[in-house]
Amino acid sequence: MVFTEEYFKILIPAVIAIIVAFLSHQFAKTRELNEERRKHKIDYLLKAYTSLMIHANNPNELERTLALRDAVLTIQIYGSKWQVKELDNILKLIMSGETAELDPILNNLRDELREKLSLGKVEGNIYWVHPSLSLLEKLNQKTKL
């Protein structure tokens, strides 16, 4: 078979089109994978942050325990090296009966979450609010009026 000039006029654009289609597909898949990873990271940060916030200074022992369990599971799987190490230090203090300082890890989770959401950095520590059931009932009564 003899390759003529006409043959190459058809073959070269076809090969280029196939290569462009393949590369476009690869870039799209990479972009989708990166976006999915970003969403998972945001979900992780939000869950870990929320669980530790529920645990912190909460008078309800059952809520505290369940929230700490959720935070530990989440951070051990998805956390950064620093977060896992900090959590390990916190757990050692809790198991020895000492008070653990949660502000550093909470601030780290908050800062990383805000960064992933393209929000500005917030200075200072976290404030905890755990209203009593009676206060919640009073607030609920006021809103029903």
Q: Where are the domains of the chain?
A: 5-144
Residue 122 corresponds to which tokens in the numbers above? 């917030």
Q: How confident is the model at residue 5 (pLDDT cuts 50, 70, 90)?
A: confident
What pLDDT, in 10s, does the model give residues 40-90? Answer: 888 998 999 989 888 887 778 888 889 999 999 999 998 999 999 999 999
Residue 91 corresponds to which tokens in the numbers above? 């757990």
pTM given for the model: 0.67
C-alpha–C-alpha distance, residues 88 and 33, integer Å: 30
Residue with tokens 């900090």: 86
Whether 99 and 73 have beta carbons less than 8 Å apart is answered as: no
C-alpha–C-alpha distance, residues 36 and 29, integer Å: 10
Residue 8 corresponds to which tokens in the numbers above? 């190459």
C-alpha–C-alpha distance, residues 122 and 21, integer Å: 44
